[in-house]
Amino acid sequence: MIKKNTKRILVIIDSLGYGGAERLLVSLLPRIARDGLHVDVVTLLIDISLMPELEKEKINVMPLNATNRWSFFKILKDLRKIVKGNSYDVVWGHLYFGNLYSATLGYLFPKLRVIWTLHSPGYSNNPQKKFKHKVKVCIEKFMGHNRVNHIVAVSKAVSNDYRHTTKWKSISVIYNGIDFSKFPTVISKKVASNTRAKYGIKKSDILVVTPGRYAPEKGHKFMIEALEILNTKYKIQAQWICVGSGNFKEHIDKLAKSSNSNDNIHLLNALPHQDLLSLVQSSDLVVIPSIREPFGIIAVESMGLGIPTMVSYVDGLREVSFGDIESPNNIRPCNSVDMAKKIFVMLNDKKIREKLVVFGKNRAIDLFDIQKSADKWSDLLNKV
Protein backbone atom coordinates (compact mmCIF):
# COMPACT_ATOMS: atom_id res chain seq x y z
CA MET A 1 0.00 0.00 0.00
CA ILE A 2 1.47 3.34 -1.08
CA LYS A 3 1.10 6.09 1.49
CA LYS A 4 -0.82 9.19 0.54
CA ASN A 5 1.36 12.07 -0.71
CA THR A 6 4.24 9.68 -1.52
CA LYS A 7 6.07 10.96 -4.59
CA ARG A 8 5.83 8.40 -7.41
CA ILE A 9 8.74 7.93 -9.81
CA LEU A 10 8.67 6.02 -13.11
CA VAL A 11 12.09 4.96 -14.40
CA ILE A 12 12.42 4.18 -18.14
CA ILE A 13 15.45 2.32 -19.50
CA ASP A 14 16.18 0.20 -22.58
CA SER A 15 16.72 -3.06 -20.70
CA LEU A 16 17.99 -4.61 -17.50
CA GLY A 17 20.90 -6.46 -19.07
CA TYR A 18 24.42 -6.61 -17.65
CA GLY A 19 25.50 -3.01 -18.23
CA GLY A 20 26.77 -0.10 -16.16
CA ALA A 21 23.57 1.96 -16.31
CA GLU A 22 21.46 -1.09 -15.51
CA ARG A 23 23.70 -2.17 -12.64
CA LEU A 24 23.50 1.37 -11.24
CA LEU A 25 19.71 1.11 -10.98
CA VAL A 26 19.92 -2.19 -9.11
CA SER A 27 22.14 -0.57 -6.48
CA LEU A 28 20.48 2.84 -6.43
CA LEU A 29 16.71 2.36 -6.56
CA PRO A 30 16.23 0.32 -3.36
CA ARG A 31 18.01 3.05 -1.37
CA ILE A 32 15.87 5.76 -2.96
CA ALA A 33 12.75 3.74 -2.11
CA ARG A 34 13.88 3.58 1.53
CA ASP A 35 13.92 7.39 1.53
CA GLY A 36 10.14 7.38 1.11
CA LEU A 37 9.89 7.58 -2.69
CA HIS A 38 7.86 5.03 -4.65
CA VAL A 39 9.80 3.79 -7.69
CA ASP A 40 8.63 1.63 -10.62
CA VAL A 41 10.74 0.61 -13.60
CA VAL A 42 9.77 0.15 -17.25
CA THR A 43 12.12 -1.69 -19.62
CA LEU A 44 11.62 -1.25 -23.35
CA LEU A 45 13.35 -4.43 -24.58
CA ILE A 46 13.26 -8.11 -23.64
CA ASP A 47 16.62 -8.36 -21.82
CA ILE A 48 15.64 -8.35 -18.13
CA SER A 49 18.59 -10.27 -16.65
CA LEU A 50 18.81 -7.99 -13.59
CA MET A 51 15.05 -7.87 -12.99
CA PRO A 52 15.08 -10.50 -10.17
CA GLU A 53 17.54 -8.40 -8.16
CA LEU A 54 15.22 -5.39 -8.28
CA GLU A 55 12.10 -7.42 -7.55
CA LYS A 56 13.86 -8.93 -4.54
CA GLU A 57 14.07 -5.36 -3.23
CA LYS A 58 10.32 -4.84 -3.87
CA ILE A 59 10.91 -2.62 -6.93
CA ASN A 60 8.16 -3.23 -9.49
CA VAL A 61 9.52 -3.89 -13.01
CA MET A 62 7.25 -3.70 -16.07
CA PRO A 63 8.87 -5.11 -19.25
CA LEU A 64 7.31 -3.89 -22.50
CA ASN A 65 9.16 -6.59 -24.50
CA ALA A 66 9.47 -4.43 -27.59
CA THR A 67 11.47 -5.95 -30.42
CA ASN A 68 12.89 -2.60 -31.48
CA ARG A 69 13.62 0.66 -29.66
CA TRP A 70 12.10 2.55 -32.58
CA SER A 71 8.69 0.84 -32.20
CA PHE A 72 7.61 4.31 -31.23
CA PHE A 73 3.81 4.13 -31.35
CA LYS A 74 3.52 0.73 -29.68
CA ILE A 75 5.94 1.68 -26.88
CA LEU A 76 4.32 5.06 -26.38
CA LYS A 77 0.86 3.49 -26.25
CA ASP A 78 2.00 1.10 -23.50
CA LEU A 79 3.78 3.85 -21.59
CA ARG A 80 0.80 6.17 -21.80
CA LYS A 81 -1.41 3.46 -20.33
CA ILE A 82 1.04 2.88 -17.45
CA VAL A 83 1.37 6.57 -16.61
CA LYS A 84 -2.35 7.23 -16.87
CA GLY A 85 -3.13 4.43 -14.43
CA ASN A 86 -0.55 5.28 -11.77
CA SER A 87 -0.47 9.07 -11.32
CA TYR A 88 3.30 9.44 -11.44
CA ASP A 89 4.92 12.70 -10.41
CA VAL A 90 8.29 12.21 -12.12
CA VAL A 91 9.40 10.23 -15.15
CA TRP A 92 13.12 9.49 -15.05
CA GLY A 93 14.85 8.45 -18.26
CA HIS A 94 18.12 6.54 -18.69
CA LEU A 95 20.15 6.22 -21.90
CA TYR A 96 19.04 7.71 -25.22
CA PHE A 97 15.71 5.92 -25.71
CA GLY A 98 14.73 6.04 -22.06
CA ASN A 99 15.26 9.78 -22.26
CA LEU A 100 13.40 10.06 -25.57
CA TYR A 101 10.28 8.33 -24.30
CA SER A 102 10.32 10.09 -20.92
CA ALA A 103 10.33 13.52 -22.62
CA THR A 104 7.58 12.43 -25.01
CA LEU A 105 5.46 11.43 -22.01
CA GLY A 106 6.17 14.89 -20.64
CA TYR A 107 4.40 16.38 -23.64
CA LEU A 108 1.41 14.03 -23.20
CA PHE A 109 1.17 14.67 -19.45
CA PRO A 110 2.07 18.33 -18.81
CA LYS A 111 2.14 17.91 -15.01
CA LEU A 112 4.85 15.25 -15.20
CA ARG A 113 8.34 16.38 -14.25
CA VAL A 114 11.01 14.93 -16.54
CA ILE A 115 14.55 13.98 -15.53
CA TRP A 116 17.24 12.68 -17.86
CA THR A 117 20.37 10.75 -16.95
CA LEU A 118 23.25 10.94 -19.42
CA HIS A 119 25.38 7.80 -19.19
CA SER A 120 27.52 8.32 -22.30
CA PRO A 121 29.26 11.21 -24.08
CA GLY A 122 27.26 13.31 -26.53
CA TYR A 123 28.40 13.73 -30.09
CA SER A 124 31.83 15.37 -30.16
CA ASN A 125 33.47 11.94 -30.54
CA ASN A 126 30.87 10.65 -32.97
CA PRO A 127 30.89 12.27 -36.43
CA GLN A 128 27.34 12.97 -37.54
CA LYS A 129 27.59 11.31 -40.96
CA LYS A 130 24.50 9.16 -41.16
CA PHE A 131 21.07 10.69 -41.61
CA LYS A 132 19.63 8.52 -38.83
CA HIS A 133 22.28 9.76 -36.42
CA LYS A 134 21.61 13.40 -37.33
CA VAL A 135 17.91 12.86 -36.63
CA LYS A 136 18.73 11.41 -33.19
CA VAL A 137 20.90 14.43 -32.42
CA CYS A 138 18.18 16.90 -33.42
CA ILE A 139 15.50 15.12 -31.38
CA GLU A 140 17.69 14.94 -28.29
CA LYS A 141 18.76 18.58 -28.47
CA PHE A 142 15.20 19.81 -29.00
CA MET A 143 13.69 17.78 -26.17
CA GLY A 144 16.55 18.55 -23.83
CA HIS A 145 15.96 22.27 -24.37
CA ASN A 146 12.17 22.20 -24.26
CA ARG A 147 10.68 19.37 -22.18
CA VAL A 148 13.22 18.25 -19.59
CA ASN A 149 13.18 19.70 -16.10
CA HIS A 150 16.56 18.44 -14.96
CA ILE A 151 19.53 16.77 -16.67
CA VAL A 152 22.12 14.74 -14.77
CA ALA A 153 25.38 13.30 -16.10
CA VAL A 154 27.26 10.39 -14.50
CA SER A 155 30.61 12.19 -14.79
CA LYS A 156 32.11 15.61 -15.48
CA ALA A 157 33.45 14.23 -18.76
CA VAL A 158 29.91 13.40 -19.95
CA SER A 159 28.57 16.74 -18.69
CA ASN A 160 31.29 18.74 -20.45
CA ASP A 161 30.80 16.84 -23.69
CA TYR A 162 27.06 17.52 -23.75
CA ARG A 163 27.54 21.17 -22.83
CA HIS A 164 29.87 21.51 -25.79
CA THR A 165 27.68 19.67 -28.30
CA THR A 166 24.18 20.76 -27.24
CA LYS A 167 24.73 24.12 -25.49
CA TRP A 168 22.54 22.93 -22.62
CA LYS A 169 23.31 25.29 -19.78
CA SER A 170 22.39 23.26 -16.70
CA ILE A 171 23.72 19.72 -16.30
CA SER A 172 24.31 18.34 -12.82
CA VAL A 173 26.83 15.59 -12.07
CA ILE A 174 26.04 12.64 -9.82
CA TYR A 175 28.61 9.87 -9.97
CA ASN A 176 27.67 6.24 -10.38
CA GLY A 177 28.15 4.34 -7.15
CA ILE A 178 28.92 0.91 -5.73
CA ASP A 179 27.09 -0.70 -2.83
CA PHE A 180 30.15 -1.44 -0.73
CA SER A 181 27.95 -2.73 2.11
CA LYS A 182 27.20 -5.77 -0.07
CA PHE A 183 30.54 -5.90 -1.79
CA PRO A 184 32.34 -9.28 -1.85
CA THR A 185 34.88 -9.97 0.86
CA VAL A 186 38.40 -11.00 -0.11
CA ILE A 187 38.26 -14.51 -1.54
CA SER A 188 40.53 -17.28 -0.30
CA LYS A 189 43.50 -18.59 -2.25
CA LYS A 190 41.60 -21.81 -2.82
CA VAL A 191 38.59 -20.03 -4.32
CA ALA A 192 40.89 -17.89 -6.49
CA SER A 193 42.72 -21.00 -7.67
CA ASN A 194 39.43 -22.77 -8.49
CA THR A 195 38.16 -19.69 -10.34
CA ARG A 196 41.33 -19.59 -12.44
CA ALA A 197 41.08 -23.31 -13.15
CA LYS A 198 37.50 -22.83 -14.33
CA TYR A 199 38.83 -20.70 -17.20
CA GLY A 200 41.94 -22.77 -17.87
CA ILE A 201 44.37 -20.46 -16.05
CA LYS A 202 47.15 -22.05 -13.99
CA LYS A 203 48.03 -20.87 -10.51
CA SER A 204 51.48 -19.83 -11.73
CA ASP A 205 50.17 -17.84 -14.73
CA ILE A 206 50.04 -14.05 -14.81
CA LEU A 207 46.37 -13.21 -15.30
CA VAL A 208 45.18 -9.88 -16.70
CA VAL A 209 41.41 -9.26 -16.87
CA THR A 210 39.54 -6.69 -18.96
CA PRO A 211 35.78 -6.47 -18.28
CA GLY A 212 33.62 -4.49 -20.73
CA ARG A 213 31.57 -4.61 -23.90
CA TYR A 214 33.10 -5.76 -27.15
CA ALA A 215 33.06 -2.46 -29.00
CA PRO A 216 35.65 -0.42 -30.97
CA GLU A 217 35.85 2.27 -28.27
CA LYS A 218 36.90 -0.28 -25.63
CA GLY A 219 40.40 -0.54 -27.10
CA HIS A 220 40.80 -4.34 -27.18
CA LYS A 221 42.98 -3.99 -30.29
CA PHE A 222 45.68 -2.17 -28.31
CA MET A 223 45.62 -4.76 -25.54
CA ILE A 224 46.25 -7.51 -28.08
CA GLU A 225 49.21 -5.53 -29.46
CA ALA A 226 50.50 -4.92 -25.90
CA LEU A 227 50.43 -8.66 -25.18
CA GLU A 228 52.70 -9.27 -28.16
CA ILE A 229 55.11 -6.56 -26.99
CA LEU A 230 55.12 -8.05 -23.48
CA ASN A 231 56.03 -11.39 -24.98
CA THR A 232 58.68 -10.30 -27.48
CA LYS A 233 60.33 -7.37 -25.67
CA TYR A 234 59.78 -8.13 -21.97
CA LYS A 235 59.58 -11.95 -22.15
CA ILE A 236 56.31 -12.04 -20.22
CA GLN A 237 53.55 -14.38 -21.34
CA ALA A 238 50.45 -13.07 -19.63
CA GLN A 239 47.06 -14.73 -19.92
CA TRP A 240 44.36 -12.23 -20.87
CA ILE A 241 40.68 -12.78 -20.17
CA CYS A 242 38.20 -10.35 -21.68
CA VAL A 243 34.58 -10.49 -20.47
CA GLY A 244 31.55 -8.83 -22.03
CA SER A 245 28.83 -8.81 -24.64
CA GLY A 246 28.55 -7.13 -28.03
CA ASN A 247 28.67 -7.85 -31.75
CA PHE A 248 32.27 -6.64 -32.01
CA LYS A 249 33.49 -9.82 -30.31
CA GLU A 250 33.84 -11.59 -33.67
CA HIS A 251 36.19 -8.87 -34.91
CA ILE A 252 38.27 -9.05 -31.72
CA ASP A 253 38.46 -12.82 -32.13
CA LYS A 254 39.88 -12.39 -35.64
CA LEU A 255 42.50 -9.95 -34.34
CA ALA A 256 43.43 -12.40 -31.59
CA LYS A 257 43.80 -15.33 -33.99
CA SER A 258 46.10 -13.30 -36.24
CA SER A 259 48.41 -12.44 -33.33
CA ASN A 260 51.25 -14.48 -31.86
CA SER A 261 49.54 -14.31 -28.45
CA ASN A 262 46.36 -16.08 -29.54
CA ASP A 263 46.91 -19.02 -27.18
CA ASN A 264 46.96 -16.59 -24.23
CA ILE A 265 43.76 -14.73 -25.17
CA HIS A 266 40.38 -15.83 -23.79
CA LEU A 267 37.27 -13.98 -24.95
CA LEU A 268 34.29 -14.73 -22.71
CA ASN A 269 30.68 -13.71 -22.98
CA ALA A 270 29.09 -11.60 -20.23
CA LEU A 271 29.08 -13.27 -16.82
CA PRO A 272 26.70 -12.91 -13.87
CA HIS A 273 27.95 -10.07 -11.70
CA GLN A 274 29.21 -12.22 -8.82
CA ASP A 275 31.09 -14.49 -11.22
CA LEU A 276 32.70 -11.47 -12.84
CA LEU A 277 33.81 -10.07 -9.49
CA SER A 278 35.25 -13.45 -8.51
CA LEU A 279 37.25 -13.51 -11.74
CA VAL A 280 38.49 -9.96 -11.12
CA GLN A 281 39.57 -10.94 -7.60
CA SER A 282 41.44 -13.94 -9.00
CA SER A 283 43.48 -11.79 -11.37
CA ASP A 284 46.88 -10.17 -10.94
CA LEU A 285 45.90 -7.04 -12.78
CA VAL A 286 42.84 -5.36 -14.31
CA VAL A 287 43.49 -3.32 -17.45
CA ILE A 288 40.85 -1.11 -19.07
CA PRO A 289 42.29 0.17 -22.39
CA SER A 290 39.26 2.19 -23.54
CA ILE A 291 39.54 4.90 -26.17
CA ARG A 292 36.44 6.57 -24.70
CA GLU A 293 34.70 5.88 -21.40
CA PRO A 294 31.90 7.96 -19.84
CA PHE A 295 32.60 6.72 -16.33
CA GLY A 296 34.04 3.23 -15.77
CA ILE A 297 32.05 1.45 -13.06
CA ILE A 298 34.09 -1.74 -13.39
CA ALA A 299 37.25 0.25 -12.65
CA VAL A 300 35.64 1.44 -9.39
CA GLU A 301 34.65 -2.14 -8.54
CA SER A 302 38.14 -3.44 -9.29
CA MET A 303 39.74 -0.71 -7.16
CA GLY A 304 37.25 -1.41 -4.38
CA LEU A 305 38.20 -5.10 -4.47
CA GLY A 306 41.84 -4.22 -3.92
CA ILE A 307 43.09 -5.30 -7.34
CA PRO A 308 45.81 -3.25 -9.10
CA THR A 309 43.84 -1.40 -11.79
CA MET A 310 45.26 0.29 -14.87
CA VAL A 311 43.10 2.50 -17.09
CA SER A 312 43.40 4.61 -20.21
CA TYR A 313 43.72 8.25 -19.23
CA VAL A 314 40.52 9.35 -21.01
CA ASP A 315 37.12 10.87 -20.27
CA GLY A 316 35.44 9.51 -17.16
CA LEU A 317 38.32 7.15 -16.37
CA ARG A 318 40.38 10.22 -15.44
CA GLU A 319 37.85 10.95 -12.71
CA VAL A 320 37.84 7.36 -11.49
CA SER A 321 41.62 7.13 -11.57
CA PHE A 322 44.11 9.43 -9.86
CA GLY A 323 47.38 11.16 -10.70
CA ASP A 324 48.40 12.32 -14.15
CA ILE A 325 49.31 10.57 -17.38
CA GLU A 326 52.75 9.70 -16.00
CA SER A 327 51.28 7.74 -13.07
CA PRO A 328 52.00 4.00 -13.37
CA ASN A 329 48.29 3.13 -13.39
CA ASN A 330 47.39 5.48 -16.25
CA ILE A 331 47.89 4.33 -19.83
CA ARG A 332 48.27 6.62 -22.81
CA PRO A 333 45.17 5.96 -24.94
CA CYS A 334 45.64 3.99 -28.17
CA ASN A 335 49.27 3.34 -27.22
CA SER A 336 50.12 -0.36 -26.95
CA VAL A 337 53.82 0.39 -26.37
CA ASP A 338 53.06 2.51 -23.28
CA MET A 339 50.56 -0.10 -22.10
CA ALA A 340 53.06 -2.95 -22.36
CA LYS A 341 55.78 -0.94 -20.60
CA LYS A 342 53.51 0.04 -17.68
CA ILE A 343 52.12 -3.48 -17.31
CA PHE A 344 55.71 -4.74 -17.14
CA VAL A 345 56.62 -2.19 -14.46
CA MET A 346 53.45 -2.94 -12.48
CA LEU A 347 54.02 -6.69 -12.51
CA ASN A 348 57.65 -6.34 -11.45
CA ASP A 349 57.34 -3.70 -8.72
CA LYS A 350 55.55 -4.96 -5.63
CA LYS A 351 55.74 -1.56 -3.89
CA ILE A 352 53.95 0.18 -6.76
CA ARG A 353 51.24 -2.50 -6.75
CA GLU A 354 50.71 -2.25 -3.01
CA LYS A 355 50.56 1.54 -3.11
CA LEU A 356 48.12 1.43 -6.02
CA VAL A 357 45.87 -1.03 -4.18
CA VAL A 358 45.68 1.12 -1.03
CA PHE A 359 45.04 4.39 -2.88
CA GLY A 360 42.57 2.75 -5.25
CA LYS A 361 40.49 1.14 -2.53
CA ASN A 362 40.34 4.31 -0.44
CA ARG A 363 39.41 6.41 -3.48
CA ALA A 364 36.65 4.04 -4.55
CA ILE A 365 35.04 4.02 -1.11
CA ASP A 366 35.49 7.75 -0.45
CA LEU A 367 34.13 9.01 -3.78
CA PHE A 368 31.91 6.32 -5.25
CA ASP A 369 29.92 4.72 -2.45
CA ILE A 370 26.33 4.20 -3.59
CA GLN A 371 24.90 5.92 -0.50
CA LYS A 372 26.46 9.22 -1.61
CA SER A 373 24.76 8.85 -5.00
CA ALA A 374 21.46 7.81 -3.42
CA ASP A 375 21.41 10.83 -1.08
CA LYS A 376 21.93 13.22 -3.99
CA TRP A 377 19.30 11.51 -6.13
CA SER A 378 16.72 11.44 -3.33
CA ASP A 379 17.29 15.13 -2.68
CA LEU A 380 16.91 15.96 -6.39
CA LEU A 381 13.79 13.81 -6.88
CA ASN A 382 12.11 15.35 -3.86
CA LYS A 383 12.91 18.89 -5.01
CA VAL A 384 11.76 18.28 -8.58
Contact 247, 269 (CB under 8 A): no
pLDDT of residue 32: 95
Domains of the chain in sequence order: 8-177+369-383 (3.40.50.2000), 180-368 (3.40.50.2000)
How confident is the model at residue 126, as a pLDDT? 55
pLDDT at 3: 64
The sign of the dihedral angle between the CA atoms of 149, 153, 157, 161 is negative
Nearest by Cα to 358 from 277, 304, 286, 281:
304
Mean pLDDT per 10-residue section of the chain, whose length is 384 residues: 79 90 92 94 94 94 94 96 94 97 97 95 61 83 94 94 87 93 87 96 96 94 97 96 93 95 95 92 97 92 96 93 88 96 96 95 94 96 90
Distance between CA atoms of residues 138 and 130, nearest Å? 13
Cα dihedral across residues 243, 120, 180, 313: positive or negative: positive
Q: Minimal CA–CA distance to 220: which of 230, 229, 209, 231? A: 209
Bridge partner residues of 372 (DSSP): none
Confidence (pTM) = 0.87
At 124 the pLDDT is: 57
In the prediction, which pLDDT does 198 show? 96
Closest CA to 95 of 163, 165, 149, 43: 43
Instruction: Provide the pLDDT for residue 281.
Output: 96
At 1 the pLDDT is 54
